[in-house]
Structure 1
């Protein structure tokens, strides 16, 4: 069928041509250079010309080519958010979500895109390492970094602005934001003991990173000479399942224990369900406390006594640290520590 006989519905549509800076200049009756100065926020352009250009941008439907501009500036206008956790825990842990949303809010206000990168395997480490080396992000925020973390080693080589949530796992000149895990763990353990608990154990998680190890040391600080090492059960992750398994092991070691510090709220939730499975009342038979004051703390029955970790603020501060370095600031190697009040509820 000849094109002249085709109905409008049957004619192939051609892609609409993208408006360019030349189109804006022609519409506004000014030079390309004047348009460029206005779009880049430069001065020395008359108010009349600026108004004409702004009106022309709307009429021709001009959208700045950010990719091309960033290529010239050697900037991606993106910051990577790296979480070194299994995929299942990334979805389960409300703290990670809170940190992510806090970071995203700050980056968004500053016109930066956040790129989420989850590391769950050796292959992920290699993939993310290649991605970072490709210059696709201007800086990174790292959550849950491990000792001997290969991603940290990659970051050190690339020398890109970086902020850790928690202490960096190496002695590099990195910014970080965190909390005093050791002091907070000691405080809530002490409060648990003050309720009259005599045989207190701990479900210690994630000892391959600073937060887990510091919480364990804080527990030891609080108990001092009354510490019973056999009542410390180590589990790999801050997860409900591992909390359930850890509590089961604690009851096997000492069926008469009457107090438990769980290294996170998710761990505590699993522990409470294990206690219930074995016929123990909370807090009647066993008082239990957690750490984070996440959504898990209000899902348990009874509601959980815990330490409030300001997840959103941690993300916001981490993003601010990265943005500061992007503007030429020095890394905050002394770190930023946030307050962690105790929230006392019915579980102890």
Structure 2
């Protein structure tokens, strides 16, 4: 009878070599993709691997070929947003799809606290991943510095201003915010405010800049309420403060759909009807946009394609290719009943 120890013993290169009738060196050359192995020997080794149930040790292989076949996706956001923000999941799935096509593994890494950042910097220096995709980086981000110091192939989702010539994938946040604010004004709204989230990163700052562009001489800084995160809670609180300061407001640009969802709650609490009394627009065209009542007018952000394009940019660098220009994706207005 087979013992527990025998059942659990992991098949080794030696087992494959004995089964295939070749040397361990020949097996290693096949596993590491090296030449000078006959087709007959290669076929015998592949059959032996299947028969004995051999699984290559990725960590050991990486020491030989200097490749882990893994790409890290680093998201510098609080843990709370991972449940609330569907864009993060879409970026992750898009990146994973592109990496799977090239037989790479995605490693999902979260940077919430300063301790997380220190831990990730140590992890990145260990050779366990070949490159990184970075989401939600801020100017002066320590993760950006660590990646640059290590010389890791990297691509950013978004465009922090201090990444030099590093490849990035983005949308025109400023232009899109300008367009949807003008569209809101075209409905006859004359006292339009904004709940401006995440001004410490390029997306939030650019959306505020687009709002200012759209209003021109009519821009009033008193109608802008700044909040820290693209979250429902921040949207709710931001809308409450905006109504206290500007009770006659008749239009709102919320800098994300989640922020807009929170703003809608605050408007209902205040007895304001949407869109009859206040028109509201969001940004992202996420699941929040259709979950709201009425459904949100918004900007379509192709989050899945952003993740896919960023992953392809990292893989291109690993092949020795240079990314000469930023990758910009379309982000059209999607007009619905909220305005």
TM-score (norm 2): 0.94
Question: CA separation of 1:137/1:221 partners in 2, compared to 1, >3 Å: closer, same or farther?
Answer: same
Contact 2:135 2:156 in 1 (8 A): yes
Post-superposition CA distance 1:20-54 (Å, at most 9, x none): 33333332333444444444445554444333333
CA shift, 1:231, in A, is 0.4
Question: Which of the residues 283, 305, 312 maps onto 2:304?
Answer: 312
In structure 2, distance between residues paired with 1:185 and 1:330: 31
Aligned residue-pair number: 339
Contact residue 145 and residue 169 of structure 1 kept, 8 A? no
| Equivalent in the alignment of 1:245 | 237
Partner residue in 1 for 2:89: 97
Which residue pairs with 1:107 in the alignment?
99
1:270 is matched with which residue: 243, 262, 267?
262
Residue 25 (structure 1) aligns with: 17
RMSD: 1.9
Cα distance per residue 1:47-104 (max 9 Å; x no partner): 4433333322222222222221111122222211111111001221001111011111
Specify the alignment match of 2:334 in structure 1: 343
Counterpart secondary structure, 1:172: coil
Matching of residues 1-348 of structure 1 within 5 Å: 13-14=5-6, 16-42=8-34, 45-332=37-324, 334-348=325-339
Contact 2:92 2:307 in 1 (8 A): yes
| SS in structure 1 at match of 2:301 | coil
Contact 2:154 2:314 in 1 (8 A): yes
Q: Is there any run of 5+ residues in structure 2 with no aligned partner, and where?
A: none
Please tell me whether the aligned partners of residues 289 and 295 of structure 2 are also in contact (alpha carbons under 8 angstroms).
yes
Q: Any unmatched runs of 5+ in structure 1?
A: 1-7
- Alpha-carbon displacement from aligned partner over 1:273-316 (angstroms, at most 9, x marks no partner): 10010000000000000000001001110000000000000000
Q: Distance in 2 between matches of 1:148 and 1:54?
A: 49
User: Match of 1:3?
Assistant: none
Q: SS of the counterpart of 1:177?
A: strand
Q: 1:125 to 1:192 in 2, by over 3 A?
A: same
- Could you tell which deviates more after superposition, 26-35 or 275-284? 26-35
For the residues of structure 2 that align with 1:291 and 1:267, how far apart are their CA atoms?
9
Closer, same or farther: CA 281–340 of 1 in aligned 2, 3 Å: same
Alignment deviations for residues 191-241 of structure 1 (CA, whole Å, 9 cap, x no partner): 000011111111111110100000001001111111111101111111101
Q: 1:222–1:131: structure 2 CA closer, same or farther, 3 Å change rule?
A: same
| TM-score (norm. length: structure 1) | 0.92
Instruction: State the distance in 2 between where 1:24 and 1:156 align.
Output: 41
